[in-house]
Chains A and B, each alone.
Chain A
Amino acid sequence: MAHSPFSPGVTAGRLDADAYQDNFADLHPALDPHEALVAADRCYFCHDAPCITACPTDIDIPLFIRQIATGTPDAAAKTILTQNIMGGMCARVCPTETLCEEACVREVAEGKPVLIGQLQRYATDHLQAQDAHPFARAAATGKMVAVVGAGPAGLSCAHRLAMLGHEVTVYDARPKPGGLNEYGIAAYKTPGGFAQAEVEWLLKIDGISIEYGSALGADISLDGLKAQFDAVFLGMGLGGVNALAIDGGDKDGVLDAVDFISDLRQARDVGALPVGRDVVVIGGGMTAVDAAVQSKLLGALNVTLAYRRGRDRMNASVFEQDLAASKGVRIMTHVAPVALHGDGSVREIEFEYMNDDMSGTGQTVRIPADQVLRAIGQTLEGDGLPALEGGKIAVTATGQTSVDGVWAGGDCAAGGDDLTVTAVAEGRDAAMDIHARLTA
Chain B
Amino acid sequence: MADLTSTFVGITSPNPFWLASAPPTDKEYNVRRAFEAGWGGVVWKTLGEAGPPVVNVNGPRYGAVYGADRRLLGLNNIELITDRDLYTNLEEIKRVKADYPDRAMIVSIMVPCEEEAWKAILPLVEDTGADGIELNFGCPHGMSERGMGAAVGQVPEYIEMVTRWCKQYYSKPVIVKLTPNITDIRKPAAAAKAGGADAVSLINTINSITSVNLDSMSPEPSIDGMGSHGGYCGPAVKPIAMSMVSEIARDPETSGIAISGIGGITTWRDAAEFITLGCGNVQVCTAAMTYGFKVVQEMISGLSEWMDEKGHTSIDDFRGAAVPNVTDWQYLNLNYVAKALINQDLCISCGRCYAACEDTSHQAISMSDDRVFEVIDDECVACNLCVNVCPVEDCITMEAMTPGTIDPRTEKVVEPDYANWTTHPNNPAATTAAE
Q: How far is the CA of A45 from the CA of B354 in the complex (A)?
A: 12
| Interface residue B351 (Cβ < 8 Å from any Cβ of A) | yes
| Interface residue B68 (Cβ < 8 Å from any Cβ of A) | yes
Quote the shortest CB–CB distance from A427 to chain B (angstroms): 28
| Interface residue A268 (Cβ < 8 Å from any Cβ of B) | no
Flag if B68 contacts A46 (CB, 8 Å).
no
A45-B352 contact in complex given A50-B371, A109-B392, C-beta closer than 8 Å = yes
Residue ID in chain A nearest B371 by CB atoms: A50
| Interface residue B355 (Cβ < 8 Å from any Cβ of A) | yes
Residues of A within 8 A of B354 (CB): 47
A41-B371 contact in complex given A47-B350, A47-B355, A48-B351, C-beta closer than 8 Å = no
Residues of B within 8 A of A42 (CB): 68-69
Residue ID in chain A nearest B66 by CB atoms: A41
Quote the shortest CB–CB distance from A116 to chain B (angstroms): 15
Restricting to A19-49, which residues have a CB under 8 Å from any CB of B? 37-38, 41-42, 44-49
Question: Of A37, A44, A45, A106, which is within 8 A of B70 by CB?
Answer: A37
Q: How far is the CA of A48 from the CA of B358 in the complex (A)?
A: 12
A41-B69 contact in complex given A50-B371, A109-B392, C-beta closer than 8 Å = yes
Quote the shortest CB–CB distance from B357 to chain A (angstroms): 10
A44-B69 contact in complex given A50-B371, A109-B392, C-beta closer than 8 Å = no
Flag if A44 contacts B367 (CB, 8 Å).
no
Q: How far is the CA of A48 from the CA of B354 in the complex (A)?
A: 10
Flag if B69 contacts A47 (CB, 8 Å).
no
Residues of B within 8 A of A38 (CB): 69
Q: How far is the CA of A108 from the CA of B344 in the complex (A)?
A: 13
Flag if A41 contacts B350 (CB, 8 Å).
no
| Interface residue B217 (Cβ < 8 Å from any Cβ of A) | no
Flag if B367 contacts A48 (CB, 8 Å).
yes
Quote the shortest CB–CB distance from B189 to chain A (angstroms): 40
| Interface residue B324 (Cβ < 8 Å from any Cβ of A) | no
Q: How far is the CA of A49 from the CA of B350 in the complex (A)?
A: 7
| Interface residue A236 (Cβ < 8 Å from any Cβ of B) | no
Quote the shortest CB–CB distance from B365 to chain A (angstroms): 10
| Interface residue B349 (Cβ < 8 Å from any Cβ of A) | yes
Residues of A within 8 A of B355 (CB): 47
Contact with B along A107-130 (1 / 0, CB 8 A): 011000000000000000000000
Q: How far is the CA of A189 from the CA of B392 in the complex (A)?
A: 35
| Interface residue A210 (Cβ < 8 Å from any Cβ of B) | no
| Interface residue B406 (Cβ < 8 Å from any Cβ of A) | no
| Interface residue A105 (Cβ < 8 Å from any Cβ of B) | yes
Q: How far is the CA of A109 from the CA of B351 in the complex (A)?
A: 13
Residues of B within 8 A of A49 (CB): 351
Q: How far is the CA of A50 from the CA of B348 in the complex (A)?
A: 11
Residue ID in chain B nearest A109 by CB atoms: B348
A106-B348 contact in complex given A48-B367, A50-B371, C-beta closer than 8 Å = yes
Question: Of B68, B351, B352, B392, which is within 8 A of A41 by CB?
Answer: B68
Query: Which of A38, A44, A47 has the most chain B CB atoms closer than 10 A to its own CB?
Result: A47
Flag if B70 contacts A46 (CB, 8 Å).
no
Quote the shortest CB–CB distance from B304 to chain A (angstroms): 30
Flag if A105 contacts B367 (CB, 8 Å).
no
Flag if B351 contacts A47 (CB, 8 Å).
yes
| Total contacts A-B at CB 8 Å | 36
Restricting to B104-160, which residues have a CB under 8 Å from any CB of A? none
Query: Which of A37, A44, A106, A108 has the most chain B CB atoms closer than 10 A to its own CB?
Result: A44
Restricting to B341-396, which residues have a CB under 8 Å from any CB of A? 348-352, 354-355, 367, 371, 391-392
Contact with A along B156-178 (1 / 0, CB 8 A): 00000000000000000000000
Q: How far is the CA of A46 from the CA of B354 in the complex (A)?
A: 10
Flag if A46 contacts B351 (CB, 8 Å).
yes
A105-B350 contact in complex given A48-B367, A50-B371, C-beta closer than 8 Å = yes
Quote the shortest CB–CB distance from A112 to chain B (angstroms): 12
Flag if B349 contacts A108 (CB, 8 Å).
yes
Q: How far is the CA of A256 from the CA of B386 in the complex (A)?
A: 56
Quote the shortest CB–CB distance from A52 to chain B (angstroms): 11
Q: How far is the CA of A105 from the CA of B367 in the complex (A)?
A: 15
Residues of A within 8 A of B70 (CB): 37, 41
Contact with B along A208-224 (1 / 0, CB 8 A): 00000000000000000
A46-B352 contact in complex given A37-B70, A38-B69, A41-B68, C-beta closer than 8 Å = yes
Residues of B within 8 A of A41 (CB): 68-70
Q: How far is the CA of A48 from the CA of B367 in the complex (A)?
A: 10
Restricting to B37-69, which residues have a CB under 8 Å from any CB of A? 68-69
Question: Of A37, A47, A109, which is within 8 A of B352 by CB?
Answer: A47
Quote the shortest CB–CB distance from B114 to chain A (angstroms): 50
Q: How far is the CA of A92 from the CA of B355 in the complex (A)?
A: 32
Residues of A within 8 A of B392 (CB): 109
Q: How far is the CA of A46 from the CA of B391 in the complex (A)?
A: 10
Residue ID in chain B nearest A46 by CB atoms: B350
Residue ID in chain A nearest B359 by CB atoms: A47
Q: How far is the CA of A41 from the CA of B392 in the complex (A)?
A: 16
Residues of B within 8 A of A46 (CB): 349-352
Q: How far is the CA of A109 from the CA of B346 in the complex (A)?
A: 8
Residues of A within 8 A of B351 (CB): 46-49
Flag if A44 contacts B391 (CB, 8 Å).
yes
Flag if B69 contacts A50 (CB, 8 Å).
no
Quote the shortest CB–CB distance from A111 to chain B (angstroms): 11
Residue ID in chain B nearest A53 by CB atoms: B371
Residues of B within 8 A of A50 (CB): 349, 371
A105-B69 contact in complex given A47-B355, A50-B371, C-beta closer than 8 Å = no
Flag if A44 contacts B349 (CB, 8 Å).
no
Flag if A108 contacts B352 (CB, 8 Å).
no
Residue ID in chain B nearest A38 by CB atoms: B69
Residues of A within 8 A of B371 (CB): 48, 50
Quote the shortest CB–CB distance from A46 to chain B (angstroms): 4
Q: How far is the CA of A415 from the CA of B194 in the complex (A)?
A: 84
Residue ID in chain A nearest B71 by CB atoms: A41
Quote the shortest CB–CB distance from A440 to chain B (angstroms): 33
Q: How far is the CA of A41 from the CA of B71 in the complex (A)?
A: 11
Restricting to A32-87, which residues have a CB under 8 Å from any CB of B? 37-38, 41-42, 44-50
Flag if B348 contacts A108 (CB, 8 Å).
yes
Residues of B within 8 A of A105 (CB): 348-350
Restricting to A151-210, which residues have a CB under 8 Å from any CB of B? none
Q: How far is the CA of A99 from the CA of B318 in the complex (A)?
A: 52
Residues of A within 8 A of B391 (CB): 44, 109
Residue ID in chain A nearest B346 by CB atoms: A109
Quote the shortest CB–CB distance from A31 to chain B (angstroms): 15
Quote the shortest CB–CB distance from A388 to chain B (angstroms): 34
Restricting to B47-106, which residues have a CB under 8 Å from any CB of A? 68-70
What 10 A-B pairs are tightest by C-beta distance, nearest first? A47-B351, A47-B355, A109-B348, A41-B68, A46-B350, A105-B348, A105-B350, A108-B348, A41-B69, A44-B350
Q: Give 19 pairs: A residue, B residue, CB < 8 Å, sorted on A.
A: A38-B69, A41-B69, A41-B70, A42-B68, A42-B69, A44-B352, A47-B350, A47-B351, A47-B352, A48-B367, A49-B351, A50-B371, A105-B348, A105-B349, A105-B350, A106-B348, A108-B348, A108-B349, A109-B348
Q: Which residues of B pack against A, CB within 8 Å?
A: 68-70, 348-352, 354-355, 367, 371, 391-392
Given A41-B68, A47-B352, 14 additional A-B pairs, CB 8 A: A37-B70, A38-B69, A42-B69, A44-B352, A45-B352, A46-B350, A47-B354, A47-B367, A48-B351, A48-B371, A105-B348, A105-B350, A109-B391, A109-B392
